[in-house]
């Protein structure tokens, strides 16, 4: 058995923060719960399904906790996150999950969190674990492109398929700035710091376990996690996905009230007070990055917690579609500062929230019309760069850079997916959303 602090609430000190309770786990993508993770073979041997409640016993202590079936986990390990099940954390953190600290053992003055023998018994009960991603395969699509270092040395565009597309769109002219973003998948660890930074910066509401279960989470950024390779030794890859600010934006063509429109700097804008909530834009978006306010969450914020809201960003009401804006408020701030100082805008003057928070320097934001900017160099000269779902010809303003691995067992782009693990996907998809 292994007890561990997870990325979200750590040892439980931060359990009363709604942003972190609703932040999906880096690997499992589960929110508002802890669970006992077991391998697929262990689940098959014990006849366990996703969400089955078990009694987990270590020494003379036991807890009742739901099961999560985790590809790539060692068959002899059951892993549980600590920091949950608190009773005095506060309104948000109280009674969320199960207290796993009681399974730790004190020996010679030290607390032992791993290496103990544990016994698992089914209780016959079931809890629906809530996940923001219930499908783990790339299904042959060019989503996260991977290559071995050997293949990369032979071809800098290894495993990237370039599509030849055409369009009846006349295109846009950008005589001033043209904003874009580059995301290096080679550095992304899936830590999700960008998600919480975006949530803080842009007044994005927490909706709670019930509505995440219904697919109504509000995050403007999501971190897609895919499994690759054999189920016995599954590897994970991560891909941050936000509004792609497409030049041929599919959302703009279907909005009946022009609530979503294109700016002369390449942003896909949202005019909140014009939106009537048809959600046509969300239906027409191939990236599925738009969020809809089903309730007036802002009215639920108790004083003085309303003081945490960013005054530079509109607080959206019920019935409004919202999404990433490339932190347009930060763009305006940077431009105004340069104007006051009587100088041209320089690359790096504007850092969007996700970029500023990323500990691995995965994200670069800047002006594509500035040939010396980091982003422009990626778009023009980086052979690892590719557009997500390029074949849709939406012409996104974001480029991803392929992931290079130091081994010779990378699934090529034409065979992206779960591999053997995909065969068992239904075993750990129960309780999540497809």
Over the range 100-134, which residues count as b (16 or more CB within 10 Å of their CB) and which as e?
bbebbeeeeeeeebeeeebebeeeeeebebbbbbb
Mean of pLDDT over the chain: 87
What distance in Å separates the CA atoms of residue 292 and residue 219, rounded to the nearest whole number?
Answer: 10
Neighbours of 426 (CB within 10 A): 10
Residues of the chain with CATH 3.30.70.20: 146-417
Q: Band of the pLDDT at 425, cuts 50, 70, 90?
A: very low
Residues of the chain with CATH 2.40.40.20: 2-132
Domain boundaries 2-132, corresponding CATH code: 2.40.40.20
Question: Which pLDDT does position 203 carry in this prediction?
Answer: 93
What distance in Å separates the CA atoms of residue 353 and residue 198, rounded to the nearest whole number?
Answer: 6
Question: Which pLDDT does position 409 carry in this prediction?
Answer: 63
Q: Give percent of the chain with pLDDT exceeding 70.
A: 94
Per DSSP (E only), the strands in 336-388 are 363-367, 385-386
For tokens 């009587």, name the residue.
342
String of DSSP letters for 139-181: TT-SSS-EEEHHHHHH-TTTTPPPP----S------SS--EEE
Question: Which pLDDT does position 410 carry in this prediction?
Answer: 63
What distance in Å separates the CA atoms of residue 354 and residue 352, rounded to the nearest whole number?
Answer: 6
Give SS3 for 314: coil
Q: Is the pLDDT of residue 3 over 60?
A: yes
Against a cut of 0.85, is the pTM above it?
yes
Token digits of residue 123: 């209780």
pLDDT tens digits for range 255-280:
999 999 999 999 999 999 999 999 99
What distance in Å separates the CA atoms of residue 415 and residue 152, rounded to the nearest whole number?
Answer: 17
Burial of 399 (0-12, 13-18, 19+ CB in 10 A): buried
Token digits of residue 239: 């891909």
| Structure letter (DSSP) for residue 12 | T
Q: Does domain 146-417 have CATH number 3.30.70.100?
A: no
- Lowest-confidence pick of 27-41, 162-176, 201-215, 229-243: 162-176
String of DSSP letters for 226-272: EEES-GGG-EEEEEEE-----TT-HHHHH-TT--EEE-TTS-EEE-G
Q: Band of the pLDDT at 419, cuts 50, 70, 90?
A: very low
């Amino acid at each position: 058995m292994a007890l561990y602090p997870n990325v979200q609430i750590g040892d439980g000190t931060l359990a009363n923060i709604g942003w972190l309770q609703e932040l999906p786990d880096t690997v499992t993508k589960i929110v508002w719960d802890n669970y006992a993770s077991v391998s697929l073979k262990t689940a098959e041997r014990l006849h366990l399904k996703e969400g089955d409640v078990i009694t987990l016993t270590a020494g003379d202590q036991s807890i009742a906790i739901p099961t999560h079936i985790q590809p790539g986990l060692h068959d002899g390990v059951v892993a549980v996150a600590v920091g949950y099940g608190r009773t005095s954390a506060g309104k948000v953190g109280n009674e969320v999950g199960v207290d796993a600290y009681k399974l730790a053992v004190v020996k010679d003055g030290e607390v032992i969190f791993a290496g103990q023998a544990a016994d698992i018994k089914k209780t016959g009960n079931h809890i629906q674990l809530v996940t923001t991603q219930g499908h783990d395969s790339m299904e042959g699509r060019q989503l996260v492109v991977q290559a071995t270092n050997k293949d990369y040395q032979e071809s800098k565009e290894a495993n990237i398929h370039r599509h030849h597309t055409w369009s009846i769109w006349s295109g846009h002219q950008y005589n001033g700035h043209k904003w874009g973003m580059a995301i290096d998948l080679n550095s992304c660890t899936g830590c999700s710091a960008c998600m919480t930074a975006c949530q803080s910066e842009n007044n994005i509401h927490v909706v709670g376990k019930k509505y995440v279960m219904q697919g109504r989470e509000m995050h403007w950024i999501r971190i897609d996690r895919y499994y690759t390779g054999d189920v016995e030794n599954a590897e994970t890859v991560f891909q941050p996905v936000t509004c792609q600010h497409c030049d041929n934006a599919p959302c703009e063509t279907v909005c009946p009230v022009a609530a979503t429109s294109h700016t002369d700097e390449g942003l896909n804008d949202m005019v909140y007070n014009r939106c009537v909530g048809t959600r046509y834009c969300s239906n027409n978006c191939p990236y599925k990055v738009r969020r809809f306010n089903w309730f007036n969450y802002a009215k639920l914020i108790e004083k003085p917690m309303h003081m945490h809201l960013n005054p530079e960003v509109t607080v959206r009401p019920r019935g409004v579609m919202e999404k990433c804006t490339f932190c347009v408020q930060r763009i305006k701030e940077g431009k105004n500062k340069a104007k006051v100082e009587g100088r041209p805008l320089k690359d790096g003057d504007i850092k969007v929230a996700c970029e500023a928070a990323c500990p691995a320097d995965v994200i670069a934001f800047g002006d594509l019309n500035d040939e010396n900017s980091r982003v422009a160099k990626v778009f023009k000269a980086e052979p690892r760069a590719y557009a997500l779902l390029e074949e849709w010809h939406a012409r996104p303003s974001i480029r991803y850079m392929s992931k290079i691995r130091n081994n010779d067992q990378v699934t090529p782009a034409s065979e992206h997916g779960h591999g053997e693990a995909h065969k068992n996907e239904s075993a750990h998809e129960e309780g999540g959303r497809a």
